[in-house]
């Protein structure tokens, strides 16, 4: 049985988040985020983060920002050896459950078009493509990648209600 815990992250976790980010975000379009970047984001009003841990070892995280009835998923990631086991969905379910509790009506996010893992994860949760920013992401070689903007309506009558456990719950797989 794989037991994991989704716990809230604070500014004090900035260094841990930076280490996770470096190991997770290795695609050509990914930007570097250091500890100060995480501290800056987590200090913003409405910014929240959660870390997924197994036996206190961090294996993934999600960062979001809720403002009144709107929310944005800023970053989600799982360590490469831990992918494909449902952890990405667990992180998003936790963030969606927290968004509902906070009275958020719709969640936004963006990802680079070639990112098949992100596309599959977000689609499986009911996010719908609502826009495209041409050439929004770039890489060191000068290539450009479109950003796809997606929305999840949390109050629509047909909105998916994922089996989200509130953060802080022990999850067994
Ligand atoms: C995107 C990411 C978070 C997915 O995490 P994960 O733990 O592998 O996702 P899960 O195991 O929960 O999978 C969720 C769904 O997506 C599908 N999926 C995940 N990765 C996939 C891939 N590379 N190709 C196709 N489908 C994929 C799973 O099959 C599953 O679908 P299902 O619910 O129909 O079974 C992970 O690949 C990652 O960290 N990527 C690098 C960082 C990143 O790009 N983050 C997103 C942009 S911020």
Entry field: residues in the chain: 173
Q: How far is the CA of 61 from the centre of ligand 1 (A)?
A: 13
Angle at which helix 87-101 crosses helix 116-124, to 10 degrees, equals 50
Question: Which of 110, 111, 137, 145 is labelled catalytic?
Answer: 110
Query: What's the rounded Cα separation, in Å, for the pair 111 and 30?
Result: 10
Q: Alpha-carbon distance 69 to 71, whole Å?
A: 7
Positive or negative CA dihedral for 132, 44, 36, 170? negative
Span from the CA of 74 to the centroid of ligand 1 (angstroms): 16
Each residue's pLDDT tens digit, 47-98: 999 999 999 899 999 999 999 999 999 999 999 999 999 999 999 999 999 9
Q: Which residues are paired to 70 by β-bridges?
A: 67, 106
Catalytic residue among 72, 82, 111, 122: 122
Residue pair 128/96 in contact (Cβ under 8 Å)? The answer is no
* Closest protein CA for atom 15 of ligand 1: 121
Residues 23-36: pLDDT tens digits? 999 999 999 999 99
The pLDDT of residue 170 is: 58
Distance between CA atoms of 13 and 152, rounded to whole angstroms?
Answer: 28
Helix axis angle for 14-24 and 35-42, nearest 10°, is 120
- Domains annotated for the chain, with CATH where assigned, are 3-172 (3.40.630.30)
Task: Give nearest CA residue, ligand 1 atom 33.
Answer: 124
2 pLDDT band, cuts 50/70/90, is: confident
């Amino acid at each position: 049985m794989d037991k994991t815990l989704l716990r809230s992250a604070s500014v004090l976790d900035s260094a841990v988040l930076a280490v996770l980010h470096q190991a997770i975000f290795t695609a050509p379009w990914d930007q570097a985020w250091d500890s100060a970047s995480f501290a800056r984001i987590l200090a913003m009003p409405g910014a929240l983060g959660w870390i997924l841990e197994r036996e206190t070892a961090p294996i993934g995280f999600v960062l979001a920002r809720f403002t009144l009835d709107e929310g944005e998923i800023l970053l989600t990631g799982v360590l490469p050896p831990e992918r494909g086991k449902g952890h990405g969905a667990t992180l998003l379910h936790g963030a969606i459950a927290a968004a509902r509790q906070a009275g958020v009506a719709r969640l936004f996010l963006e990802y680079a078009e070639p990112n098949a893992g992100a596309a599959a994860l977000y689609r499986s949760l009911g996010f719908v493509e609502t826009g495209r920013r041409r050439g929004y992401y770039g890489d060191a070689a000068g290539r450009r990648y479109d950003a796809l903007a997606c929305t999840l309506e949390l109050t629509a009558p047909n909105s998916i209600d994922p089996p989200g456990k509130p953060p802080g719950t022990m999850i067994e797989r």
